[in-house]
């Protein structure tokens, strides 16, 4: 992973959000978030700021995590770069704009990590089997290296609308929440029809019924309420 290009860190003051690695720090509690379908509406290969539509409740959820002391880190596959549909600079500009939108509601993402590769449909160096593309955990590992005290996995979560998100969280050793926005509701309905999940439960107690994720929430705001309960 080319950290200098794949990682974009932001803070409300415009300085690096992570403390100096030379300082002694306790492991961070982290909320890892998928981007498309979890925070913003699904748009085919989103890369233009004017096409960004935040899902209602996203800013409030992120603000709740901020105020509770979590590091909020976005983990997103961006195969549109590999396919040549847009550039890494476009991804970075969109992330900067997303944080501007969130800051209007008093919220912020501490860091964005993205994977620009694809194993089959990439152009040039972008066509590769990499460690960073979810459900692999390279982006999580990069965040753990960048945080001075590492990550407290027992108190961290991955939230996304696809099973590759929840699988990635589990591979990294943290709990995962599937949200019903994006593709999540369709996945959930299929599981219920197949008898793979308990329709009467939507909290952490469901883990015995559905091993692919630890909880289900209708949207990111409801997921935040589960985490912070």
| 36 labelled catalytic | yes
Largest pairwise CA distance in the chain:
52
DSSP character string of 98-167: HHHHHHTTT---SEEEEE--BSSS--GGGBS--SSSTTS-HHHHHHHHHSTT-B-GGG-EEEESSHHHHH
By C-alpha distance, which of 66, 173, 44 is closest to 111? 66
- How many other β-carbons are positioned within 10 Å of the β-carbon of residue 15? 9
Which position among 20, 36, 161, 214 bears the catalytic label? 36
Nearest-5° Cα angle at 129, 165 to 162? 15
**Catalytic annotation, pick one of 20, 34, 90, 146:** 34
> In 10-58, at which residue ranges do the beta strands (DSSP E only) sit?
30-33
Distance CA 32, CA 106 (A): 19
Please report, in angstroms and rounded to a whole number, the separation of the first and last CA atoms in the chain.
35
34 is a catalytic site residue? yes
Task: Label residue 141 exposed, middle or buried (CB < 10 Å: 0-12, 13-18, 19+).
Answer: middle
* Alpha-carbon gap, residue 124 to 122, rounded angstroms: 7
* Catalytic residue positions, numbered: 34, 36
């Amino acid at each position: 992973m080319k950290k200098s290009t794949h990682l974009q860190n932001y803070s409300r003051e415009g300085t690096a959000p992570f403390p100096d690695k030379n300082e002694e720090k306790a492991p961070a509690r982290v909320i890892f978030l998928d981007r498309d379908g979890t925070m913003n509406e699904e748009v085919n290969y989103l890369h233009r700021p004017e096409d960004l539509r935040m899902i209602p409740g996203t800013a409030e959820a992120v603000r709740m995590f901020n105020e509770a002391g979590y590091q909020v880190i976005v983990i997103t596959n961006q195969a549109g770069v590999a396919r040549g549909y847009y550039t890494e600079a476009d991804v970075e500009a969109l992330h900067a704009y997303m944080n501007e939108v969130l800051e209007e509601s008093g919220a912020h993402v501490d860091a964005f990590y993205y994977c620009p590769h694809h194993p089959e449909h990439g152009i040039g160096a972008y066509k590769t089997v990499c460690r960073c593309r979810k459900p692999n955990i390279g982006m999580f590992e990069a965040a753990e290296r960048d945080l001075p005290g590492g990550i407290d996995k027992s108190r961290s979560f991955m939230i996304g609308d696809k099973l590759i998100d929840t699988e990635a969280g589990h591979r990294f050793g943290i709990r995962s929440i599937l949200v019903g926005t994006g593709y999540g509701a369709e996945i959930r309905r299929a599981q219920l029809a197949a008898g793979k999940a308990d329709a009467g439960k939507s909290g952490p107690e469901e883990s015995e019924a559905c091993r692919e994720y630890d909880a289900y929430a209708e949207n990111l705001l409801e997921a935040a309420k589960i985490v912070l309960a």
